[in-house]
Amino acid sequence: MLGVRLGVVGILAREDVKVLTVYVDLSVICVC
């Protein structure tokens, strides 16, 4: 169970990082 939970948390963290990188990219484009 713990391994599954860690796996889900890892996937969610990766999705958050993807969203953050896209958001930062859009912010940089808007500033430019």
Q: Where are the domains of the chain?
A: 7-32
Residue type, 20: L
More confident residue, 31 or 15: 15
CA-based end-to-end distance of the chain: 46
More confident residue, 5 or 1: 5
Residue 11: strand, helix, or coil: helix
Give the pLDDT score at 1. 66
Whether the full predicted model's pTM is greater than 0.95, yes or no, is: no
The pLDDT tens digits for 9-26 are: 888 888 888 988 988 898
